[in-house]
Amino acid sequence: MSNPIDFYYWPTPNGWKISIAFEEMGLAHNVMPVDIDNGEQHSAAFRAISPGGKMPVIVDPDGPDGQPISVFESGVILQYLARKSGKFYPNDERARLLVDQWLMWQMSALGPNAGQAHQFLKYAPNYNPPVVIPYAQDRFRDEVKRLYKVLDERLAAQEFVAGDYSIADMAIWPWISRYRRQQQNLDDTPHLKRWFLALWARPAVQAGRNLMVKDSLKFTPANRPELGI
């Protein structure tokens, strides 16, 4: 039996990608909280495994050739865990390229633009003093809306993003789960909404999204109103 993988985590969309993957793949792991609200990601010890000071990161004691390895960048972690488990990542090269393209679409387009929308629509207006930049708000709200439309068009023709359920879906779903922070309405993208609710019905997605470090942050409709489900 493989030794548990150390999973350095905080409850954010990028963290949830990996917590969902662990649940879906059934891989043993230890959760190692990294309190990014208090700057723990900037410690020398953490930067030794994550040079950019970003989480998530994993440390697998049973890496390639049986030697320990640390892996940063959430998309690469998903690929690594999928290969290790043999799940949610096709062996066929054409099918795998399709998964990789949508995974990179999340990494390069949806995640960065949604993250900026969070900053300018939710966080900056609550600074003291408030920072309200209408151009930035409109820019990132509109770009996220465009990306939702791209995803909606993709899901009009198939059940999941890249054929069968895959790590591409696991990467995209956590960012869509913050749609209210991005000031989006899922009723405008019915195929995306169908996919979003179907994934939320999966026990592993619920367990991964519910992985919190404080009970008060538990993900439920009552205390997480930004999801509206």
- pLDDT per position as a tens digit, 58-82: 999 999 999 999 999 999 999 999 9
Residue-wise pLDDT for 23-63, tens only, equals: 999 999 999 999 998 999 999 999 999 999 999 999 999 99
- CA triplet 207, 32, 119: central angle to 5 degrees? 75
pTM for the model stands at: 0.93
- Enumerate the CATH 3.40.30.10 domain ranges in the chain, comma separated: 5-85
- Within 10 A of 141 (CB to CB), how many other CB atoms are there? 18
At residue 227, the pLDDT reads 54
- Indicate the angle between helix axes 134-155 and 190-200, nearest 10 degrees: 80
CATH top class, domain 93-217: mainly alpha
* CA–CA gap between residue 149 and residue 147 (Å, rounded): 5
pLDDT in tens, 89-144: 999 999 999 999 999 999 999 999 999 999 999 999 999 999 999 999 999 999 99
Chain-centroid distance of CA 54 in Å reads: 13
User: Sign of dihedral through CA atoms 121, 136, 74, 36?
Assistant: negative
**Residues of each domain in the chain carrying CATH 1.20.1050.10:** 93-217
**Considering Cα of 87, then 93, then 98, then 100, what sign does the dihedral take?**
positive
CA-wise closest residue to 144 among 106, 199, 194, 191: 106
Sheet holding 29-33, edge to edge: 29-33, 5-9, 57-60, 69-72
Residue-wise pLDDT for 157-188, tens only, equals 999 999 999 999 999 999 999 999 999 999 99
Asked if CATH classification 3.30.470.20 holds for the domain at 5-85, the reply, yes or no, is no
